[in-house]
Structure formats: C-alpha cells, structure tokens
Amino acid sequence: MEFAKTKRGTLLVASLATALLVGGGVAFAYWTTTGSGTGSAAAGTSSPVDVTQTNTVTGLYPGGPAQDIDLNIANSNDADQYLAKVAVSVSSTSDAGCTAADFTVTDATIG
C-alpha cells in the first residue's frame, strides 16, 4: 500500500508543478511581450441617389383627402446605400388660384 500512495503522491506533485510552471510561463510571456504595428482603413464615399416622381398627383382640393406620391429611387453607386429619409416639397402648381404654400407635405414612410 505504501507504494501506491507514494506513486499517487509523486504523480500529484509532478502534475501540480507542471501546471504551475506552464501557467507561470504563460503569465510571464503575456506580461513581458511587446509589439508594434501599423494599419489603415478607408471608408467609401457616399453619392446621391436618383429620386424621380412617377405619378401625377390630381384631385387635390381644400379639405380633401391626402394623395400619395409615387417615387422611383435608383442607386447608381457601386455599393449599397441606406436611405433613411426622403424630403418632398411642392415647387409649383398648375392652377393660378393656388400657390405652393397652399399645400402641406408630410414625411414619407420608407419601406
């Protein structure tokens, strides 16, 4: 029985010593290692997308219902772009009795 205890004890001590040496070596290497390097990055440029109205809005009158504006949006760039907002305004009217200021355009829903 003495032999089994001694062999097991020796193996345990050897395993612990090995673990401490390996762990200590890893810690020493981590804390004493230095390095340097260079790098660079570049972001692409964003270009405007083409937005074209594809319908004629008719039937507008005071107190009348809102009318939809249909748009075609084309991305002529090489990369994908995210469109978050479309700003729409009335620039002119075809009726002499109305001005662009007589109309209100609400924010466009994208999606």
Same domain, 25 and 49: no
Range of the domain at 103: 44-110
Nearest to 25 by CA among 14, 17, 34: 17
Structural domain total, the chain: 2
Q: Do both 95 and 67 map to the same domain?
A: yes
Say yes or no: 48 and 83 in one domain. Answer: yes
Rounded Cα–Cα distance for residues 88 and 70 (Å): 11
How far apart CA 84 and CA 63 sit, in angstroms, is 30
Largest CA distance in the chain: 114
Q: Which has the minimum average pLDDT: 16-20, 100-104, 106-110? A: 106-110
Confidence of residue 67 (pLDDT cuts 50, 70, 90): confident
Contacts of 75 (CB under 8 A, 6+ apart): 49, 50, 81
